[in-house]
Amino acid sequence: MSLAELFWFFFRISAVTFGGGIVILGMVQLEQERRGGISKEVFNDMTSIAASMPGPIAVSIAWLMGRHYRGLAGSIAAVIGAVLPPFLIILFFSPFILRYSHLPAVSGFFKGVLAGTSAIIVPVIFDNVKSTLTDKIWNWVPYILVLSMIGVFDMHPFSVVVTVMALQMVRARCEAK
């Protein structure tokens, strides 16, 4: 993808997507599968990195995809494309939304947006979990570890992320030898 294509790719998705970064991630995944250019494994790695980084996931995935295609300039073009539409929408429409949010048509619109975002999020999460867990039996270990550390032992998510990342680094070093 050229710099203009990267900008337009993220601008177009970000301009019509309601529901935040995870929905944008879902739309990026669907569009990327249609276009090709990044293997499913590489995109899953990008998704994992984007989800584990601080800050908006849409910005992280834009940065990583832009870097994949065009380096630093691609990252900058993709991030600007991802950030510009929500900025402009909030800038221009928030006064009207706040003023008319009590109207049934406006609240109905946002209820429809909520249903639509759910329809996008669920299949993306299901596909990512399925592809990750069915790849190798070892991939179940971090998944079960995260669930038990948060659900059973009530550990702070930051501690869980650091622990699982350390475990994965040790595993990668062991496999490399």
Cα dihedral 164/165/170/175 (nearest 10): 100
Pull the structure tokens for residue 3: 């710099």
What does the pLDDT look like over 34-57, one tens digit per residue? 888 888 888 888 888 888 888 888
What does the pLDDT look like over 144-177, one tens digit per residue? 888 898 889 999 988 888 888 888 888 888 887 7
**Cα distances (angstroms) measured from residue 78 to each of 48, 104, 105, 145:** 18, 36, 34, 34
pTM > 0.75: no
